[in-house]
Amino acid sequence: MLVNRYQTVYLSLVSTDLPVWDVIEAKASLYQKDRERFHLLLERQNLPCSVSNNNNFEQELFWLEISPHRVMMSVQNNKRLNYRHFWQRGIYGVSRYCLNSHPDRPSQSLRLRNFTRYLKVENDPLPKNVRIEYEMWSRQVHLGSYVFNLDLQA
């Protein structure tokens, strides 16, 4: 498995119909699974707001599984919020959120659907850009249209 460590990445999430806009610059490790499949791994310490209220670092992993036809994004945190998004062009994917506000109580989960209108992965031969345009839905309620963009710098 090829590893290209300390890759600088820029993640942006923009809503086309809501006041949502965020850009993150971070360091990441890129793992090549096979010719067209990659895993991109970031640790929460590399992302903004990584310090908890008691000034201890929380172990939180953020990763993307990237292929030309689908992208999965996962965040795992032992304490508060875990989520997973699945995008594949032309289908309804699932976005799952697991909330745990109190460690001594059972976690609550929320499941949303997303419809991927556009998904493009640029490889040369490693990924350079991932762009996903999608809509979020809760049953019949439209929760907005979004553009997720990931730029990887060598």
Are 126 and 152 within 8 A, CB to CB?
yes
- Which residue ranges form the domains of the chain, and what is each CATH number? 2-153 (2.40.128.20)
Are 112 and 99 within 8 A, CB to CB?
no
Given pLDDT bands bounded at 50, 70 and 90, which one contains residue 52?
A: very low
Given pLDDT bands bounded at 50, 70 and 90, which one contains residue 43?
A: low
- Taking the C-alpha atoms of residue 65 and residue 69, their distance in angstroms, rounded to an integer, is 11
- SS3 call for 135: strand
User: Helix count (H) and strand count (E) of the chain?
Assistant: 0, 10
83 φ/ψ angles, rounded to the nearest 5 degrees: -150, 160
Non-local (6+) Cβ contacts of 150 within 8 A are 9, 10, 11, 12, 40, 64, 127, 129, 130, 131
Counting residues of the chain whose pLDDT is more than 70, the rounded percentage is 81
What confidence tens digit (pLDDT) does each residue in 4-27 have? 666 788 999 999 999 999 998 888
What confidence tens digit (pLDDT) does each residue in 63-94 have? 899 999 999 999 887 667 788 999 999 999 99
What is residue 52's DSSP assignment? Answer: -
Q: What is the pTM of this model?
A: 0.82
The total number of residues written for the chain in this structure? 154
Are 52 and 45 within 8 A, CB to CB?
no
Are 136 and 143 within 8 A, CB to CB?
yes
- The residue that leads in pLDDT, 45 or 85, is 85
